[in-house]
Amino acid sequence: MPVFAAIDLGASSGRIISGDVEGNQIHTREVSRFTNGPIRVPERGKAGLYWDIHRIWNQINNGLRILQSESIESVGIDSWAVDYGLIGNNGKLLTSPYSYRDSRTKSVPGKLFGKVSPQRFYRHNGLQVINFNTVFQLLASMENEDDRRLTEAARHILLLPDLIVYWLSGKIYAEATNASSTGLLDPSTRRWSREILQLYTRQTGMDIAQKLPDVIESGKCIGPVLQDVIPLRNGKDLPTNVVSVGSHDTASAVAAIPAKTDNFAYISCGTWSLVGLELAAPVLTEASCKANFTNELGVDGTVRYLRNIMGMWILNGCVAKWREKEPHLSFAEIDEAAAKAPSMRTIIDVNDPIFADPGDMLVRIDRLADETDQPRPREIGEYARCIYESLALAHARTIHQAAALADVPVDTVNIVGGGAKNLLLCQLTADACGLPVTVGPVEATALGNLLVQARASGAVGDSLSEMRFVVSQSVASITLNPEGKKTDWQQAAARIFSKER
């Protein structure tokens, strides 16, 4: 039977997962896993944040070489969004890609919207305003002489999964789901937005349209893996193909949600919580713009209508500090302490900009508690409980907003990704939403990646619902019903969101 390989890159870790489909089930195996994270590089008197892309590439090679003895039908790549590499005329990478957490973009949206209406911008790209969106990164590159020179010298601008595809296959494309995170793509046409590209040229004097690859949808066979890169073969002793999948990791994750109804909301919970709905068309209203919801593209012509919420990033920052004194502290111990901690003692706005940069999250939680006249958490369990309840509240608020703005009902919520392992967070989310929450799969991103490949080879049915049925038959899930008091959550929401900052 054909075997498929998913390259699943996250901001904190990467992994290679293989999978094969037998009947209505997919069987997966983790081939390799490696840590990831931005690195600080001194430049111009300060430290810039970059991705060590050559280390990432080497780890991908190491993982795929483990599969050389197997018959691999195809390979697919997904990753986080917005970051990109610059390819020169000689076909080589010009410089290490910036990390989206680099500070150079912080003032860019304000400068742009001093000249251009946010509503006008939104009508053409449907994207929420986050300072690290690709379009803002590219505008920031024009403000520094060295970055401008490199950008002008680039022949191609490739988002990170497209860069890996290029190194594997020699082919240059932009896969639609990740391209939609750039702010340069029109979600209605699923092509680069002529209006936004013209706007960029007027602002910078550079015609960036010439540097952007053709957009392709997921499920396309791009070409064989170059044999002088990694000599992978399939069962017919032909080169393994590279297949475009939902290259935005959230797009792959949503494709693997085992939804049993059309009226579902989803939370892809990891470093970020991506919270929203799957729609047939974008929502480009002024109200949607004001609420800062995004219209990113999904598999099979769908739209991921969502908001980014600061997710387990905050907890991970706390864990890093706790482990300075308790190196062996486990997440199980943290969750046990949180379950015993008092409820609704301290609630914070997890999307406050104070959490954007790496650093001591404990100090920042204390600061927000002081600013909102709430008691500071006193120990590990109370800090964790504060984060989980605050995150659950943000999940609920976002789902109800999305349903109202899109004018669709929501009957159930699906939580996938690493956050699905945290049953306390999942139960709190059910309580805050007042809706049943189905938990899992944890490895939804890799499953979505693998199933799009499997469908391209004919190993599963053509429809998204058939792919999701395979997930439901392959991975156990549980459903949590709301238990908490609705009035408690309403009061907590009023306490935090009554005065929007």
Active-site residues, by number, are 249
Torsion of CA 286, 288, 291, 293, to 10 degrees: -140
Count how many Cα atoms sit within 13 Å of the Cα of residue 303 in the half-sphere of its side chain.
23
Question: Is 166:158 a contact under the CB 8 Å cutoff?
Answer: yes
Distance between CA atoms of 133 and 127, rounded to whole angstroms? 9
Distance between CA atoms of 105 and 129, rounded to whole angstroms? 12
Distance between CA atoms of 260 and 331, rounded to whole angstroms? 31
Cα–Cα distances in angstroms (integers) from residue 22 to residues 31, 220, 385, 444, 474, in the given order: 19, 22, 42, 18, 10
- CA quadruple 173, 176, 182, 188: dihedral sign: positive
Count the Cβ atoms, other than its own, within 10 Å of residue 190.
Answer: 17
Tokens of residue 332, six digits: 């199980």
Question: Is 465:26 a contact under the CB 8 Å cutoff?
Answer: no
Contacts of 45 (CB under 8 A, 6+ apart): none
Distance between CA atoms of 367 and 360, rounded to whole angstroms? 11
Name the residue type at position 466. E
Question: Count of H helices and E strands in the chain?
Answer: 18, 21
Partners of 25 in the β-ladder: 22
Tokens of residue 302, six digits: 């769908």
Distance between CA atoms of 81 and 88, rounded to whole angstroms? 22
Question: Is 418:225 a contact under the CB 8 Å cutoff?
Answer: no
Q: Which of 186, 188, 165 has its CA nearest to residue 175?
A: 165
Count the Cβ atoms, other than its own, within 10 Å of residue 373.
Answer: 7
Question: Is 249:8 a contact under the CB 8 Å cutoff?
Answer: yes
Distance between CA atoms of 277 and 396, rounded to whole angstroms? 13
Place of tokens 């505008």: 139
- CA quadruple 187, 219, 298, 315: dihedral sign: negative
Helix (H, G, I), strand (E, B), or coil: what is residue 229? coil
Question: Is 18:64 a contact under the CB 8 Å cutoff?
Answer: no
Cis previous bond, 161, omega within 30: no
